[in-house]
A and B are shown apart, each in its own frame.
Chain A
């Protein structure tokens, strides 16, 4: 074979690593843009989740404690 395979391999490496990093850097940029857009324009679900959960947990804990104490008494 006349072509220098090692040189070919190095070309592959340059192109391959270049593409991988280019892809990931663009992906990172888009991820940042996307999350800032979503946080600015569609923030509701996060807030409501935060509010609802602790309340629910307290109620559930209260119910369980009541049930346990009831069970122990009887």
Chain B
């Protein structure tokens, strides 16, 4: 309705400019008959002009409309309507720069940032219930659909071969989940003993899952436990995943000595096709028996992997790995971006989330490395502690970082495949951790 009138007014502006005050009344009457008869009343051109000016974005930024509500129909402050929006638009420009120039997870950061840009437009209310971002959000984020579909695609891209040939490295993927629970304690302590933040335990859980370094899992948990923090959590999660090559190496180097970094691991044995085919079903069966709450994530993940390993549905596998995951990534990014509206993002909590996120990430990395060192105390084949850091999921970036740091000390030491083991175990580990968190709030 509003849009129709707006279009109508713009049309009139055009006519007005051509005719320069001549016959305005007439044109209006003619147009009048073709559009609404009831609602439209003939107005003098000057009034139309001022009405149009009042509906411009410039005016909306300078004189915020006191009656304007945010995307959830709640009251928002004048700051969030004017300067807040401008600041957020600049923030999205910064995200564009990071994605394009610095190459930080551009596949997700670009849609998220553009969604954020659109969500901060005044008047148009794109992130509102009937705006297209709002529709996308309700379509697949509010009901946790998109993260699950992404998980299917990730499953189809995952090769469990390295894990199957060296099963004990799965423990590294478990240790890295300490980042999640350690941060959870930190976040609740911060709310308990300081007055700056006041996170509930649900919010603290949703924030700490950033330590799992797994975008879809973070979004899944955030929409379930603390939807109001989704934007900040998703942005923190994906930006830290993109910054793995910057965050992890200093921690890895600080916790290891030169001899440990040069450890060469025994070559991986061959894994038969049947093992790879049985594995997803086996893990899913365990999840069903031990923690059914984790089966939405693990089930979707193993579904994708099973399709791939079955080898008989190449078309479905291809769709999952490419077109489906790409399509959903676009929607997921835009939907998350809609939560970058100024009134939800420009709050003190966001800073706390960004800070806690990087703590979670670092603790997870450190726990993985320390776990590898503990495992080396036991007899058996030695593990290079550098692959411990790959226990935080962030597939395959974390494994590449392990490989790169290892190569810095010994050019011939190829750790990539060894690091993929804890890396994929980290995905399973964080899905299990997510399942635990969900089951605790039932």
- Give chain A's interface residues, CB within 8 Å of chain B: 4-6, 8-10, 12-13, 15-17, 19-28, 30-32, 34-35, 38-39, 42-43, 45-46
A22-B290 contact, Cβ under 8 Å, with A31-B279, A32-B167: yes
**B171 at interface by CB-CB < 8 Å:** yes
Determine if A23 and B432 form an interchain contact, defined as CB atoms under 8 angstroms apart. Answer: yes
Between A and B, 5 residue pairs with Cβ closer than 8 Å are: A21-B174, A28-B167, A31-B164, A31-B282, A45-B273
Determine if B272 and A45 form an interchain contact, defined as CB atoms under 8 angstroms apart. Answer: yes
Q: What 1/0 mask marks residues of chain B from 283 to 298 whose CB sits below 8 Å from any chain A CB?
A: 1001100110000000
| Those of B246-280 within 8 Å (CB) of chain A | 270-275, 278-279
Which of chain A's residues have a CB closer than 8 A to the CB of B286? 23, 26-27, 30
Chain B interface bracket (under 10, 10 to 19, 20 to 34, 35 or more): 35 or more
Q: What 1/0 mask marks residues of chain B from 189 to 218 whose CB sits below 8 Å from any chain A CB?
A: 101110000000100110000000000000
- Give chain B's interface residues, CB within 8 Å of chain A: 163-164, 167-168, 170-171, 173-174, 177-178, 180-182, 184-185, 187-189, 191-193, 201, 204-205, 270-275, 278-279, 282-283, 286-287, 290-291, 425, 428-429, 432-433, 435-437, 440
Which of chain A's residues have a CB closer than 8 A to the CB of B428? 23-24, 27
A15-B274 contact, Cβ under 8 Å, with A5-B191, A32-B167, A34-B279: no
Number of A-B contacts (CB under 8 A): 121
Of listed A4, A8, A17, residue having the most chain B CB within 10 A: A17
Determine if B189 and A6 form an interchain contact, defined as CB atoms under 8 angstroms apart. Answer: yes
Secondary structure at chain B's binding surface: helix, strand, loop or mixed? helix
A6-B275 contact, Cβ under 8 Å, with A16-B436, A23-B432, A28-B170: no
What is the distance, in angstroms, from A18's C-beta to the closest C-beta of chain B?
Answer: 9
Secondary structure at chain A's binding surface: helix, strand, loop or mixed? helix
Determine if A35 and B205 form an interchain contact, defined as CB atoms under 8 angstroms apart. Answer: no
Other-chain contact of B433, A4, A5, A16, A39 (Cβ < 8 Å): A16
17 A-B pairs besides A27-B282, A31-B170, A45-B274 with CB distance below 8 A are A4-B192, A6-B193, A9-B184, A13-B184, A15-B436, A21-B171, A23-B174, A24-B170, A24-B432, A25-B171, A26-B286, A27-B283, A31-B282, A35-B271, A35-B275, A38-B272, A38-B278
What is the distance, in angstroms, from A55's C-beta to the closest C-beta of chain B?
Answer: 18
Which of chain A's residues have a CB closer than 8 A to the CB of B290? 19, 22-23, 26
A22 to B177, alpha carbons, bound, how many Å? Answer: 13
- Among residues of B, the one whose C-beta sits closest to the C-beta of A42 is B274
A39 to B167, alpha carbons, bound, how many Å? Answer: 15
Which of chain A's residues have a CB closer than 8 A to the CB of B272? 38-39, 42-43, 45-46
